[in-house]
């Protein structure tokens, strides 16, 4: 896998240099890379491909709480045992255990913290590289964002209910 990743990154770097664009579209890159024999699809195990598609569907499944906000219908948890690591899924309303729910929540928070840390590092680096540009900031307190998203979701839900009533 690392070899393929390296090939993609090398080809992307070449593509960026050729286009000279401020930003590039991966679809355009793929057309160029395939035409120039820089990229070909990897042979894949059909089961792994289907597993990825299934887990995408599970990750996107949502339900509505009676209060009106949406939540994930299926939860994922990484289990480690003597045979290795295994990702398991459970229904938010009907299965899982207190331990699995707690572990899934902790793992989700750890993932978000990693993403936030990476974003803060990215912003710090861009500010160092582009000192003449307006300096970027990345607020790490998401309480207002959560409140705004909740309000927007509840307003959207109320609008859907009104349209259903009118129909």
Summarised one tens digit per residue, pLDDT across range 61-103 is: 999 999 889 999 999 999 999 999 999 999 999 999 999 999 9
The pLDDT assigned to 98 comes to 95
Residue 68 has what pLDDT? Answer: 86
The segments of the chain whose pLDDT lies below 50 read: none
Please indicate, yes or no, whether residues 53 and 78 belong to a single structural domain of this protein: yes
Give yes or no: residues 39 and 52 share one domain: no
Tell me if 72 sits within 8 A of 62, measured CB to CB.
yes
Q: Assess whether 38 and 51 both reside in one domain.
A: no
Statement to judge: residues 123 and 146 lie in one domain: yes
Nearest to 18 by CA among 29, 34, 2: 29
Q: Which domain holds residue 81?
A: 45-163
Does 17 lie in the same domain as 50? no
Same domain, 136 and 57: yes
| 63 and 127, same domain (yes or no) | yes
Q: How far is CA 64 from CA 92, 97, 111, 167, in A?
A: 12, 21, 24, 21
Domain count, the chain: 2
Task: Examine the domain organization and report whether 56 and 127 are in the same domain.
Answer: yes
d(CA 131, CA 127): 6
If asked whether residues 1 and 27 sit together in one domain, one would say yes
> Which residue reads 């993609």 in tokens?
8
- Host H or E run for residue 161: helix 143-166
């Amino acid at each position: 896998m690392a070899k393929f990743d390296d090939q993609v990154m090398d080809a992307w770097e070449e593509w960026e240099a050729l286009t000279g664009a401020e930003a590039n579209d991966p679809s355009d890159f793929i057309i160029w890379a395939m035409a120039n024999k820089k990229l070909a699809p990897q042979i894949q195990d059909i089961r792994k491909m289907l597993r990825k598609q299934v887990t995408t569907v599970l990750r996107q499944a949502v339900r509505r709480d009676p209060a009106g906000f949406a939540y994930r219908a299926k939860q994922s948890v990484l289990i480690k045992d003597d045979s290795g690591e295994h990702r398991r899924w459970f229904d938010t309303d009907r299965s899982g255990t207190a331990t699995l729910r707690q572990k899934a929540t902790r793992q989700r928070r750890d993932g978000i913290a990693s993403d936030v840390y990476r974003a803060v590092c990215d912003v710090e680096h861009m500010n160092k590289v582009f000192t003449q540009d307006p300096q970027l900031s990345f607020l790490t307190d998401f309480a207002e964002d959560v409140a705004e998203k909740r309000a927007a979701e509840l307003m959207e839900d109320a609008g859907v209910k009104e349209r259903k009533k009118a129909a």
